[in-house]
Structure 1
Amino acid sequence: MSKTKNQILLLSFSILFFQHIQAQIVEGKDYSHLANVYKTFDIAGEDIFGQRFLSENFTFKDKVTGVTVNALTTSRHSNSKMYQTHPQWTADGKYIIFTSNRTSKKDNYDSQYYAISTDDFTITQITTGKNGRDFHLGWHKNVAYQFKGNKLVEINIDQILKDSQASKIKDATYYEKVRATVPDSIKPSGLGLDANEDAVYFSSKINSSLYAIYKVDFTTGKTIKLKEVPFWVGHLQANPYVTGELMYCWETRGDAPQRMWYLSIDKNGKVENRPLYEERKNDWVTHEVFMGPDKVLFHLMGHLDRLQDNQTGIYSINLRTNELQFHGQTGNGGYWHCNATPDGKWIAGDTFDGKLYRINTTNPKDTTLLTTGHRLLSKSPFSSEAHMHQSISPDGKWVLFNSSLFTKNDIMIVPIQPE
């Protein structure tokens, strides 16, 4: 390119840049210090990696319980926490990660991942473009793991947030490190991160009636097939406390013949696969999550007459002894999702009509209603309102959940021990 053309391009850029700066000055007043407010959360914005949004949070008193609830998002877009089987907070506890379609255009339903500060509730966009699936935060580091095509990448969330705050954000690929490449014949689905954070587990469809579970080792980069099963594998999650252990379900989008399964790998690489809580004819098991290193928390649904032949409600099962413990049930269809504090003392259980309870794990009668009204129109699970999918913070102080109280879907937090 000639020197003259370079000069013309440089001049054109300078004019555009100058016009942009001047656009912040209106009738002699400089509005540049307020430039960020144009990112109002009531319109669809641009997909800009690392961009920051002003706080949307709104605190209010629950009309029934009087407990203070903090709505972290209040936009008209769909904002959702991640599924309760996976971590929601960064390893340092300073950010909550959620998804939102706030930068999606008409007929384009892409969502991105965002980090909301637990300090000032500002929001930072941490992914961009055509997003991969199965985002999993690190247990011990401020990173995330995600399959992009057949490449497993580690995303440095900590550096993204620091660079965004300093207005020095780089291209998204700068923050990615490829940990492994899965063979093209395998299509990863679901993602569980080993407790040692040196391997991941995932499933892949082989044909309409056969799925396989795989392990990817970070050290060797190898993909190892662990087990084939004759059903759709769903809700795969690694034991956050014990290496080489994972849980998954027989996915049907409803009741399953045998919902929960447990897979473990010993130090010699031997794989054991077994059903977890062998179901009776009228059991409907759902929403299983880990409850410490040795227990799994789950529901026996009670919303149908035929299910009430057995005692329904929230249960835990010991992974080592298969001992069952009943943690209570409520009326009007019963509890739906569940999660427990890291110390195992308290359970958060919700209902179809959007009530959230705190339950003493050793005494089901010691139950406290925390907040209400988050599924105002729903009397069953089969409605378009948000599924609460509650999770409890690593410090055991907060319950994070989805809500349809204000919009189609927002994320909120409530203290597990209100004053």
Structure 2
Amino acid sequence: MGQKQKILAIGYLLLSLIIIPSANAQIGKRFPSEKKVIKDPVTGTMLTFLTSTPAGDSKIYPTHNQWTSDGQWLIYRTGRVPGEAMAVNEQTGEMVQVTEGGYSGMLNIARNSMKLYFMRSTDTSLRRRGDTVAARDRSVAPVQIIEVDLAKVFADSKAGKMKPASEYQRVCGTTPPELGAGGDMALDGAEEWAYFRISKEEAARHLPASTKIEGNFGPRNMGAGPSGIAAMNIKTGEVKHVISVPFQVGHIQTNPWVPGEIVFCWETGGKSPQRTWTVMSDGTGLRPLYPESEYEWVTHEAVITRDEVAMAIMGHRKIPGTDKQVALGTSVYGANPGQEAAWGPSGTREKPTGLAIVNLRTREMTIAGQTPSGSGLWHVHGSPDGRFAVGDDFSRSVYLIDRHTREMIMLTTGHKETAADHTHPTFSPDGTKIQIQSAMLSKDGRSMNICIIPVPENWLKRKYSK
């Protein structure tokens, strides 16, 4: 073999090492159970940790589904295989890798089929794990929407007969580069369209020239527009524009029970002038979901039933001119965020606060409950049957509320304020349990695990008069 041939051979070998997936990162790879059942030392609640080692686990955001349609698996982000998503069987604790080739933004688990959807940048340097990180990755590179056939993955993984990743992963379509697609993605209730954010430049093309573009709001220097939402048909690959707005779009989510209904927010990293918004997939019906005042700190909205959205109206800041310290901390990035004066007069308990639930049809709002002290409820969710609501606070304690009686109990505490992220409680589709992410077991106080909290049996057995 001549020198030129040797160089070419070495080059092809190096290229193959780059483009051929490692056996350690193969879809369908199985991991042994780490399942542990631990009694909460304060409340006595039996907590089921589906993962229990410091592998950098984190759950999907509460705006999105957590369980597969058969109710057997939860899908989550992890560092076990960097850049890939994992599923854990709730009964056996076995774990299976369900992506290969990376993903960006939000993981979308279909409710009506055993499918998983996500975005993947065609720029491989941007295939980084995590909703928060990926949301900042804006590129002119086209983005693919990928469908994973979970039923095939689980069946072949169990049989030990995995095929190439292309047998399980399908490219639904590729976005035009001029869209600047990326960040949040949400699957429509009819599971035919996926919605995602677009770049400022693309959003501006669809706004009237006279539109007043909003600037940054608050100390995190976020919120400036314009921004917008586009959609892709996951069956045909068709792409369409949905809406453009003069501010920064965040937390795109859909109503699983009402096709075409979208909820999103004005993202500032804290208090917004008007946080919550809703629009239909054809661009009609754009309006504030809950019209808020300057003294209301609204955050962490999540669609919980066919007609309702839960959200937190925060009560975490000291009332000016009083001695009562409602919350501690000075950094928006720390355990107790949002204390900076630059956020304005909002977030105190001088006005009503708590876990609020807004009806999408009547537009009425009710307060389901609030902690008597501390930060108040922060990340919130509710059972699809309308019976219960759940929220966490700055101490990472999790509270359950009976929406009929307004009774509230602490389910669990001690999940460590030093954790890499918040607990983000999210109800299961059947309303009998709640998933959180927890650092309770971590020695470093940061690494999180996937944990299931049961709704107390006596609460589930309650009967209510009409």
- Kindly provide the amino acid, as one letter, of the partner of residue 414 in structure 1: I
1:321 counterpart = 2:362: yes
Aligned to 2:266: 250
- The structure 1 residue matched to 2:195, chosen from 181, 201, 204, is 201
Shift of 1:205: 1.8
1:270 Cα offset (Å): 5.6
Q: Distance in 1 between matches of 2:362 and 2:292?
A: 17
Question: Shift of residue 161 of structure 1?
Answer: 0.9
Alignment partners' CA distance in 2, 1:210 and 1:292: 30
Calculate the TM-score normalised by the size of structure 1.
0.82
CA distance in 2, matches of 1:250, 1:119: 39
Task: Name the structure 1 match of 2:37.
Answer: 59
Are the equivalent residues in 2 in contact too, given 1:242–1:293 (CA < 8 A)?
Answer: yes
The whole-number CA distance in structure 1 between the counterparts of 2:26 and 2:420 is 29
In the aligned structure 1, how far is the partner of 2:69 from the partner of 2:157?
A: 19
Report the 3-state secondary structure (helix = DSSP H, G, I; strand = E; otherwise coil) of the residue aligned with 2:152. Answer: helix
Could you give the per-residue CA deviations for residues 178-216 of structure 1, whole angstroms, max 9, x where no partner exists?
222221212322111111111111111224631121122
What is the identity percentage for the equivalent residue pairs of Structure 1 and Structure 2?
33
Counterpart for residue 317 of structure 2: 304
The answer (yes or no) to whether the contact 1:399–1:414 under 8 Å persists in 2 is yes
Report the counterpart of residue 128 of structure 1 in structure 2.
100
- What residue in structure 2 maps to residue 229 of structure 1? 245
1:257 deviates by 0.8
User: Contact 2:396–2:413 (CA<8 Å) still a contact in 1?
Assistant: yes
Partner of 1:396: 431
> Contact conserved, 2:27 with 2:153, CA < 8 A, in 1?
no
How far is 1:67 from its partner?
A: 1.4
Q: After the TM superposition, which of the residue ranges 269-278 and 336-345 deviates more from structure 2?
A: 269-278
From 55, 77, 84, the equivalent of 1:77 is 55
User: How much has 1:94 moved relative to structure 2?
Assistant: 0.8
Q: CA 1:325/1:80 → structure 2, altered by over 3 Å: closer, same or farther?
A: same
**Matched residue pairs, number?**
360
Checking the alignment, whether the CA contact within 8 Å between 2:383 and 2:389 is kept in structure 1 is: yes
Structure 1 CA distance, aligned partners of 2:233 and 2:374? Answer: 46
Structure 2 residue 290 is the aligned partner of structure 1 residue 277: yes
Q: Is the 8 A contact 1:180 1:218 kept in 2?
A: yes
Structure 2 equivalent of residue 48 of structure 1 = 26
Match of residue 386, structure 1, among 381, 397, 421: 421
Moved over 3 A (4+): none
Secondary structure at 1:272 match in 2: coil
Q: Please say which of residues 211-220 and 254-263 is displaced more in the overlay.
A: 211-220
Secondary structure at the aligned position of 1:303 is classed as coil
Matches within 5 A, 1:2-401: 46-103=24-81, 110-149=82-121, 150-188=143-181, 189-207=183-201, 209-265=225-281, 269=282, 271-305=284-318, 306=345, 307-330=348-371, 331-364=373-406, 366-375=407-416, 378=417, 384-401=419-436
Structure 2: state its 5+ residue gaps. 1-22, 122-142, 202-223, 319-344, 459-466
Deviation at 1:83, TM superposition (A): 0.5
The answer to whether the Cα contact below 8 Å between 1:327 and 1:363 also exists between their aligned partners in 2 is no
Q: Distance in 2 between matches of 1:301 and 1:369?
A: 18
TM-superposition CA deviations, 1:231-262 (whole Å, max 9, x none) = 11110001111011100000111111110000
Letter in 1 for 2:106: D
Answer yes or no: is the 8 Å Cα contact 2:99–2:148 preserved in 1: no
What SS does the aligned partner of 2:243 have? strand
Q: 1:270 to 1:369 in 2, by over 3 A?
A: closer
SS of aligned partner of 2:200: strand
Quote the Cα distance in structure 2 between the aligned partners of 1:129 and 1:176.
10
Residues 405 and 301 (structure 1), Cα distance of their counterparts in 2 relative to 1, 3 Å cut: same
Task: Report the Cα offset of residue 384 of structure 1.
Answer: 4.9
CA distance in 2, matches of 1:372, 1:81: 18
State the partner residue of 1:416.
Answer: 455
Query: Which amino acid letter does the alignment assign opposite residue 381 of structure 2?
Result: N
Q: Give the letter aligned to residue 93 of structure 1.
A: G
Counterpart residue number, 1:36: none
Distance (Å, rounded) in 1 between the aligned partners of 2:435 and 2:152: 25
Q: Counterparts of 2:277 and 2:50 in 1: how far apart (Å)?
A: 35
Question: C-alpha distance in 1, partners of 2:283/2:397?
Answer: 44
Q: CA deviation at 1:177?
A: 2.0
SS of 1:164's equivalent in the other structure is: helix
Greater fraction strand: 1
Partner of residue 9, structure 1: none
Could you tell me which amino acid in structure 2 is paired with residue 276 of structure 1? L
Q: Does 1:405 align with 2:440?
A: yes
Structure 1's unaligned 5+ residue stretches are 1-44, 104-109
Aligned-pair CA distance for 1:85: 0.5
Structure 1 position 418, deviation (Å)? 4.3
Q: Could you list the per-position Cα deviations for residues 72-91 of structure 1 after superposition, in whole angstroms to 9, with x for gaps in the alignment?
A: 11111211111011000001
With normalisation by structure 2, the TM-score equals 0.74
- Give the Cα–Cα distance (whole angstroms) in 1 for the partners of residues 198 and 90 of structure 2: 36
Q: Which moved more, 1:280-289 or 1:124-133?
A: 124-133
Cα shift at 1:309: 2.3
